[in-house]
Structure 1
Amino acid sequence: MTKPKKRIILNAFDMTCVGHQAAGTWRHPSSQASRYNDIEYWTNLALELERGAFDALFIADVVGVYDVYRGSAEAALQDAAQVPVNDPFGAISAMAAVTKNVGFGVTAAVTFEHPYLLARRLSTLDHLTKGRVAWNVVSSYLDSAARNIGMDRQIEHDARYDLADEYMEVLYKLWEGSWEDGAVLRDKEKGIFTDASKVHPIQHDGKYFNVPGFHLCEPSPQRTPVIFQAGASARGRRFAARHAEAMFVLATAPETARKLTDQIRAEVAAAGREPDSLKIFTLLTVITGPTDEAAQRKYEEYLSYASPEGALALYGGWTGLDFSSLDPDTPLTAVENDSLRTTLESLAADGEAWTVREVIQRRSIGGLGPVLVGGPKKVADELERWVDEGGVDGFNLAYAITPASTTDFIDFVVPELRKRGRAQSGYAPGTLREKLLGDEGGRVRTSHPAAQWGPYYVGRESVAASSRGQPFTAPAKDRRDAAE
């Protein structure tokens, strides 16, 4: 019997800014990137993605600026290289209101927002989208972000993941263990909305966080949103192997991707989870048209608008290196710092050390990922090769020109992928987790660490054993203050 072909997961990769991965191309006459402040830009994009049966819109974010290049943010500001940038949460409710199936992966950094507050924001979105939300867990990498919230510099790379591990525990307790199934009654006759005996304070007292109370939101369709994670350093892989249900990695070619995907799945199994419980995405920018020749002409046209200065400003932030101080023809080598460690590692993974000049030539469009140029058959062939030989499950597809790059992919490549049985023409029912992982019910698998706090985990020690069956009662001092 012939083994069925793996369906390719398709995510659009965007950011609530002007210049995301291709600095300078916002100047192209057909680009709508400068309309990032208009809600219609986002609702139209969501409708377009649902037309193409994309799985999700993956929304990146940073809360700092790219000021490493030449020791200034001037180049980033001039080329709108991820600045100005809006909050990624703002447009999701509007996009969900005009669609029924496409998911939304939103980025939020554990280093800059308290888990008690983020738990509520994500539960709210999961309610309003009817279970179509994923959270992309990042630990941030820009010193400029750390300085603007009162820190001297960014937390050391591996220490950020130590904090993130505890952060996840707090969230799992809030999402899975605080409100029991059946706590919300909505009983108008008895005048009881919530059965207080089924709502429990989590009583978390840890190294980084102290959260004694219960979750502010009633359980959302997924309880825990789908967990995305971006970062494939050794410490990042350990974190993903334990927590992630989808992981975003960087690779230059299918051959280099295979080493990474095999390693990640082995670590997932070693963490006691099923290897298929984590989907792996890689970044590509696809420039396509009706023929290979038409796509190549389009690429050359787009490249004429790309900004070398903007590209180096982005790479300065991603790597922590000031590219203006480097010989443009000297091979780059990976360095140990607290930025995105995998950026330079990914460029040298195939044994070819890139120079600054090559970064400009090959990534002014594409940013962190490769650029694939061709007609429908050529592009589909290459996407299949990434999946079959590289071991990835799907792609975060960046744009060169928005929304034209997305529309071209839907019009030219998606039909070819569907003919090959590789792309969905509609959506499976249920939540985003059900659509991505094929699991019924929308809840995390029992092998996921969140499940140990859930009501179906047999033999677990209660997250609030002393209050099991008891309503939450504020400490005496708080009761006195409230009375006064």
Structure 2
Amino acid sequence: MSKEIRINAFVTFAPSHLSPGLWKHPRDKSLQYHTLAYWTELARIAERGLYDALFWADGISTYSVYGGSHDPAIRGALQFPRLDPLLLVSAMAQVTTHLGFAVTSSTTYEPPYQFARRMSTLDHLTNGRVGWNIVTSFGNTGTRAVGLGEARAHDERYDVADEYMALLYKLWEGSWEDGAAVRDRERQIFADPARVHEIRHDGQYFHIEGVHYSEPSPQRTPLLYQAGTSGRGKTFAATHAECVFISAPSRKVIRDTVQDTRRRVAEQGRDPASVLFFMLLTVIVGRTEEEARAKLADIERHVSLEGALALFSRWTGIDLAGRDIDAPFTYERSEGMQSTVEGFTIADPDRVWTIGELARHNAIGGKGPVLVGSPAQVADAMQAWMEETGVDGFNLSYTIMPDSHQDFVDLVVPELQRRGVYKTAYQPGTLREKLYGPGRARLGSDHAAARYRVPAAESAPSTPPDPTAPPAPTASQQQTRPAPAAGTAAA
């Protein structure tokens, strides 16, 4: 029997995501993206379909590589304007019970101390249903907007991210011991000061001193997603990620990425099977193949090929404006998404893409494959992609919102359940437990974060403090700092 298929809904807080131009389709509701009702409706559909999570792409760079201007992006609503998905999570959690929420946040833009508190807050309010998609952000328009000047080079962005993670692990895993929040009414102690530790971090990129301003949440550290699949990105994933998102056009590229990343995970001393891989997928399904083909033809009449090239130019950092559509797309080094450049060039030497083919391919659902057919045909294809690439599930893009997800839930999910490859009920517990099983709400002992936890011997309850006594150094101040995780910057 094939392994269970997992599904996330892949979205962004904007009028369009990976199918440029479809916001103007008469059935599409994406122009309502800035209303709560739009998102709570999607949350209910996703939970009815037993999706694992909603997965938000996000960023603050405008799409200005194509033609050296952001005008095409502004005119065509190319993931612009875009609002902050963290502010949606509480409302969507209120109308669901099990659905997870994976938000993208950048190690380049977000101050780590404040970000740690916001994620802990959401993890509390959702009862442990929050994940974080870690990105490093390569767009100059974003770094200039927050006062950082030009974006750092590709590999240095990951050096920054490694140190950022070490700092967050200290806050989430090491600042509060288990049981520090005693909530003792009789002794009038909410939290035991001896078990709440100040974090001091003096690294190359970050300098912070303070306690974590949230008591430990159900997962402590949110479920960790990561989407960088360049060589440096795969090393980062092997150290930190629990779930890896891959967007590529061919089975070969995806299979090679999965195998190479799992090898690197093992080199870090982690179980390679503990990292789950989700590939980008777009599904256009009908009750019959003919109905699905008619939907595809209708969709093709509304997509924007210029928008697809503008998206691709921004992802890769390579300006495709004005190029011959029949010319081949060849490898160019850039500071954009190197994995995207490689995925359409050197990673699959058997396929040479023209500029026009790139536009048509990326116009519906982005860089991943598009499945068109009846429920049985779609299910066959999904199982084939799983078996031939080694992925564990799919980040499901959409064409028409919310029809794409309604169709998948009503037509494809029952077919997958009939085949025994899709869950019929949610697991209890946190988002991490729903993926890994009961009792696994927190990161495992083989993960880099575990090195920053306070040793069990220090977790004994203390006597009530004497308010007249001078303050004593905390346990974390007395100790030498924990050794940095493999692949992280010393802190």
Alignment of 1:424-463 (within 5 A): 424-438=423-437, 440-455=439-454
1:184 aligns to what?
Answer: 181
CA RMSD of aligned residues (A): 1.8
2:474 aligns to what?
Answer: 467
Q: Distance in 2 between matches of 1:305 and 1:111?
A: 35
2:405 aligns to what?
Answer: 406
Q: Is the 8 A contact 1:109 1:137 kept in 2?
A: yes
1:44 aligns with 2:41: yes
Give the match's secondary structure for 1:184. coil
2:304 aligns to what?
Answer: 307
1:326 aligns to what?
Answer: 323
Q: For residues 290 and 176 of structure 1, do their structure 2 counterparts lie closer, same or farther at Cα, with a shift above 3 Å needed?
A: same
Compute the displacement of 1:439 (Å): 5.4
Q: For residues 451 and 321 of structure 1, do their structure 2 counterparts lie closer, same or farther at Cα, with a shift above 3 Å needed?
A: same
Q: Distance in 1 between matches of 2:475 and 2:136?
A: 34
Q: Is the 8 A contact 2:361 2:367 kept in 1?
A: no
Q: Is the 8 A contact 1:198 1:469 kept in 2?
A: no
Give the match's secondary structure for 2:199. coil
1:206 aligns to what?
Answer: 203
Which residue, out of 281, 290, 307, partners 2:278?
Answer: 281
Q: Is the 8 A contact 2:248 2:340 kept in 1?
A: no
Q: For residues 470 and 165 of structure 1, do their structure 2 counterparts lie closer, same or farther at Cα, with a shift above 3 Å needed?
A: closer
Give CA-to-partner distance per residue, 1:16-36, whole Å, 9 cap, x none: 001100000011111011111
1:418 aligns to what?
Answer: 417
Q: Distance in 2 between matches of 1:374 and 1:409?
A: 11
**Greater alpha carbon shift after TM alignment, 244-253 vs 435-444:** 435-444
Compute the displacement of 1:283 (Å): 0.3
**Greater alpha carbon shift after TM alignment, 366-375 vs 7-16:** 366-375
Q: Distance in 2 between matches of 1:432 and 1:242?
A: 20
Give the match's secondary structure for 1:160. helix
1:366 aligns with 2:365: yes
Q: Distance in 2 between matches of 1:71 and 1:398?
A: 28
Q: Distance in 2 between matches of 1:238 and 1:423?
A: 31
Compute the displacement of 1:362 (Å): 1.9
Compute the displacement of 1:211 (Å): 1.3
1:127 aligns to what?
Answer: 124
1:90 aligns to what?
Answer: 87
Compute the displacement of 1:190 (Å): 2.4
Alignment of 1:332-411 (within 5 A): 332-348=329-345, 349-351=347-349, 352-411=351-410
Q: Is the 8 A contact 1:143 1:154 kept in 2?
A: yes
Q: Is the 8 A contact 2:9 2:53 kept in 1?
A: yes
Give the match's secondary structure for 1:193. coil
**Greater alpha carbon shift after TM alignment, 400-409 vs 308-317:** 308-317
Q: Is the 8 A contact 1:296 1:373 kept in 2?
A: yes
Query: Unaligned 5+ residue runs, structure 1?
Result: 472-484
Q: For residues 458 and 320 of structure 1, do their structure 2 counterparts lie closer, same or farther at Cα, with a shift above 3 Å needed?
A: farther
Q: Is the 8 A contact 1:318 1:343 kept in 2?
A: yes
Compute the displacement of 1:470 (Å): 8.4
Q: Which amino acid aligns with 2:66?
A: Y
Give CA-to-partner distance per residue, 1:389-438, whole Å, 9 cap, x none: 11000000000111100111111111111111111111001111111122
Give the match's secondary structure for 2:167. helix
**Greater alpha carbon shift after TM alignment, 322-331 vs 162-171:** 322-331
Q: Distance in 2 between matches of 1:269 and 1:300?
A: 45
1:252 aligns with 2:243: no
The share of aligned pairs that are identical, in percent, is 48
Q: Distance in 2 between matches of 1:457 and 1:66?
A: 49
Q: Which amino acid aligns with 1:350?
A: D
How many residues are paired up? 464
Compute the displacement of 1:338 (Å): 1.3
Compute the displacement of 1:455 (Å): 3.9
Q: For residues 219 and 313 of structure 1, do their structure 2 counterparts lie closer, same or farther at Cα, with a shift above 3 Å needed?
A: same
Give CA-to-partner distance per residue, 1:157-206, whole Å, 9 cap, x none: 00000000000000000000000111112222322111111100111111
Which residue, out of 98, 103, 107, partners 1:106?
Answer: 103
Give CA-to-partner distance per residue, 1:279-321, whole Å, 9 cap, x none: 0111011111101111111011011000112111111111111
Give the match's secondary structure for 1:329. coil
Alignment of 1:212-227 (within 5 A): 212-227=209-224
Give the match's secondary structure for 2:277. strand
Q: Distance in 2 between matches of 1:213 and 1:363?
A: 46
Q: Distance in 2 between matches of 1:458 and 1:287?
A: 56
Q: Distance in 1 between matches of 2:173 and 2:253?
A: 37
Q: Is the 8 A contact 1:183 1:194 kept in 2?
A: yes
Q: Which amino acid aligns with 2:364?
A: I
Q: Is the 8 A contact 1:252 1:350 kept in 2?
A: no
Q: Is the 8 A contact 2:108 2:137 kept in 1?
A: yes
Q: Distance in 2 between matches of 1:218 and 1:49?
A: 30
Q: TM-score, normalised by structure 1?
A: 0.93
Q: For residues 317 and 141 of structure 1, do their structure 2 counterparts lie closer, same or farther at Cα, with a shift above 3 Å needed?
A: same
Q: Distance in 1 between matches of 2:165 and 2:254?
A: 27
Compute the displacement of 1:466 (Å): 5.6
Give CA-to-partner distance per residue, 1:322-359, whole Å, 9 cap, x none: 11142211111232211111112212333212111111
Q: TM-score, normalised by structure 2?
A: 0.92
Q: Is the 8 A contact 1:254 1:385 kept in 2?
A: no
Compute the displacement of 1:467 (Å): 1.8
Q: For residues 470 and 111 of structure 1, do their structure 2 counterparts lie closer, same or farther at Cα, with a shift above 3 Å needed?
A: closer
Q: Distance in 2 between matches of 1:220 and 1:382?
A: 39
Give the match's secondary structure for 2:190. strand
Q: Is the 8 A contact 1:366 1:398 kept in 2?
A: yes
Compute the displacement of 1:14 (Å): 0.1
Q: Is the 8 A contact 1:57 1:105 kept in 2?
A: yes
